[in-house]
Chains A and B, each alone.
Chain A
Amino acid sequence: MSVLTLEDVNSYYGNSHILFDLDLEVEQNEVVALLGRNGAGKTTTLRTITGTVPRREGRIEFRGEDIADDSVDKISNRGVKLVPEERRIFPTLTVTENMQVARDMSSGNPRDIQEMYDVFPVLDELRENRGRNLSGGEQQMLSVARALIQDPDLLLLDEPTEGLAPVIVDDLYDVLSEVVAEDVTVVITEQNVDFALELSERAYIIEKGANAWGGTVDELNEREDLLDEYLSVGGAEAD
């Protein structure tokens, strides 16, 4: 069954038209990568799903129900949780409080805060630190932890590895793999394409706000041209 369906979706910031007739299909329990250049519209797509763009049109269905007109909190309470690009840690709340708030608002079976500390031991030492005082990577970890704690059905990850040290990236990979095994559906955008592709079964490429390609990761790995044209990976001109 498809968990999330976007059909002919258009999104706008004020007068600027960003997404053009975008289609997206995500099945239960799969990981889908959303790829594309800077400014292609990946973040906007995730924001469209969560209801945070100012204006969106088209059909957006979650578990068969139309959510195109739902408010942000309503969509969230359906189990759709976003780890935003800018991390959005509550600056005046402590690490623990950041997680507690998430836990308080969880609509499913929230995870234990301790569980998250086990996953990110760095945070454990910083329990009482205020969000604003965390390092960039620590904030990123907290942001992921905060979403996980809410027991999402559909987890939207916007560049979750940004700012994470290589070891932590590995840890994150493990956690996400685990989470997927537990019945969570994931949509991920990444500049770290390798990370995304390793985790995902399928991928979409977005270019200038429209679908450029869609298919399985295996297919994509065959297509040097796509990787080259839209994702600029694998190019050999690094010097």
Chain B
Amino acid sequence: MVSLGLVFDQLITGLTIGARLFLIAVGLSLIFGVLDVLNFAHGVLYMIGAYAALWAIGAVSIPFIGLLGIGFWPGLVVAILAAGLVGVLIEAGFIRRVYDREPLDQLLLTFAFVLMLTDVVKTTFGSGSNVVDPPGLLAGSLTLTSSLSLPNYRAFVILMSIVVLAAIFVVLQTTNVGRLVRATSSDRDMAALLGVNVPRLYTVVFFVGAALAGLGGALAVPTQSITPALGNQVIINAFVIAVIGGLGSFAGAFVGAYLVGISIAVGSLIVAGAGQLIPFIAMIVVLLLKPEGLFGGAEA
């Protein structure tokens, strides 16, 4: 009784979810790949991007500062900067001090930021749900056939994820940044001995990773209901994706995100609750068969 229209709709929904998740997972994977830090706060950075966009749009206000209200498109920039800067604060201000400790110490440090930043956002914006419409430019949808139509905004979000992936590859191909990053991630101290300013490199990487999450959050605003709990809802899925794709692999994050996004949307058609179960089962299977992930071991 599952109609083609429904499958199509769920596919589009799944792709939208996948695109959002990609933007979180790719930054998570990037940061892990380079800094060897599993950034628990990455979901929160996504959430901060979402709130920054809401604020820029004028949907929420900050106490003593008020509304910004500059609209959706400038809002994307605000979100990227906000999340990126918070990321820099976390990295340069704190994680940097514990790089030579056990990985778990860094993980817990980011966990501390999950707790604190969630509370800060809650206090600033309240804990209610926030919902807004897509920007006017992208309202409406593309009619494909009489029963199939593709909402413009969703198409845009999916496109953005592809653009980001392409941009990453272009940067890696055309510069020697990728090599430097890989060298540093495999032996930080030796890289410093060769002259790499490791702290600065790390900060830049963290900024980029965080900014991507911020972009994801901002893009999610018109399709998701935004609450301070958003960060915690997405982070586990982002882990799943990063692991399935292969920690440190961008293409892996892309494929993983779309697999998970689609399984969340389409899985629920098969068995109720399956949408939730599939990602974890997938992660177990991938880990057992190919622990380094589908694209693990591949270049950057």
Contacts and interface: CB of A to CB of B under 8 A. Distances in A.
Question: When A and B assemble into the complex, do they touch directly, with CB atoms less than 8 Å apart?
Answer: yes
Interface of A: 50, 52, 71-74, 76-77, 81-82, 84, 88, 90-93, 97-98, 100-102, 104-107, 146, 150
B193 A84 contact: yes
B233 interface: no
Given A52-B189, A92-B186, A105 B194 contact: yes
Interface residues of B, number: 17
Contacts of B187: 88, 90-91
Main secondary structure of the interface of B (DSSP, over half): helix
Contacts of A107: 195
Contacts of A92: 182, 186
B70 interface: no
A81 B190 CA distance: 11
A105 B196 contact: yes
Contacts, number: 68
A92 B298 CA distance: 11
Interface of B: 176, 179-180, 182-183, 186-187, 189-198
Nearest to A107: B195
Given A84-B190, A90-B187, 14 more contacts: A72-B193, A73-B192, A73-B197, A76-B195, A81-B194, A88-B189, A90-B182, A90-B190, A91-B187, A92-B186, A102-B194, A105-B196, A107-B195, A146-B194
A93 B197 CA distance: 19
> 4 nearest interchain CB pairs?
A76-B195, A72-B192, A88-B190, A105-B195
B193 A76 contact: yes
Nearest to B100: A54
A50 B193 contact: yes
Contacts of B189: 52, 72, 88
A93 B194 contact: no
A73 B186 contact: no
A89 to B, nearest CB: 8
A143 to B, nearest CB: 9
18 contacts: A50-B193, A52-B189, A52-B193, A72-B193, A73-B196, A74-B197, A81-B193, A90-B183, A92-B182, A97-B182, A100-B176, A100-B179, A101-B180, A101-B183, A104-B176, A104-B179, A150-B194, A150-B195
Contact of A73 (B176, B182, B195): B195
B186 A93 contact: yes
Contacts of A106: 195
A46 B191 CA distance: 17
A50 to B, nearest CB: 6
Contacts of A101: 176, 179-180, 183, 191, 194
B273 to A, nearest CB: 40
